[in-house]
């Protein structure tokens, strides 16, 4: 079973580590007493392991410019602080991102999931066909 947690529920320092994962396409290994106990992986890697997830909160694409501006202000907020004007801009960008997310058409999300499932089945079919060919050659 998978659990989804909003970044808003995590301490601010953790977002910097998570951004390394999603922006740098890197995995993070979490240790306890020097032993690896868990990993945080980029969504593209997670989707390879779970291609049939029925609903995924990250199936939409948000405008890159908005995301970049939002993250720049967010970084500044946690490193040096923001002026009241910048706080207002950050709230405005946050609302624009929420609006962009809400406006993603359901059909687009469904089409993407269907395309991913189709690709997954095509790959599985090709693997089975290749194995059958190998078996035929052995006989």
Maximum pairwise Cα distance, the chain: 76
CA 17 to mean position of chain CA atoms: 14
Of the spans 25-29, 46-50, 132-136, which averages the highest pLDDT?
132-136
Percent of the chain beyond pLDDT 70? 73
Domain residue spans of the chain: 8-49
Query: 57-104 pLDDT, tens per residue?
Result: 445 566 778 888 888 888 888 888 889 999 999 999 988 887 777 666
């Amino acid at each position: 079973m998978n659990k989804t947690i909003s970044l808003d529920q995590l301490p601010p320092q953790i977002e910097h580590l998570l951004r390394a994962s999603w922006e740098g396409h890197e995995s993070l290994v979490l240790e306890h007493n020097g032993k690896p106990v868990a990993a945080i992986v980029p969504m593209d890697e997670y989707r390879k392991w779970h291609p049939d997830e029925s609903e995924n909160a990250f199936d939409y694409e948000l405008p890159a410019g908005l995301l970049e501006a939002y993250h720049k202000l967010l970084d500044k907020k946690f490193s040096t602080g923001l002026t009241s004007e910048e706080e207002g801009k950050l709230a405005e960008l946050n609302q624009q991102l929420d609006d962009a997310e809400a406006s993603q058409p359901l059909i687009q999300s469904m089409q993407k999931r269907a395309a991913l499932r189709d690709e997954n089945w095509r790959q599985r079919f090709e693997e089975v066909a290749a194995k059958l060919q190998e078996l035929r050659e052995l006989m």
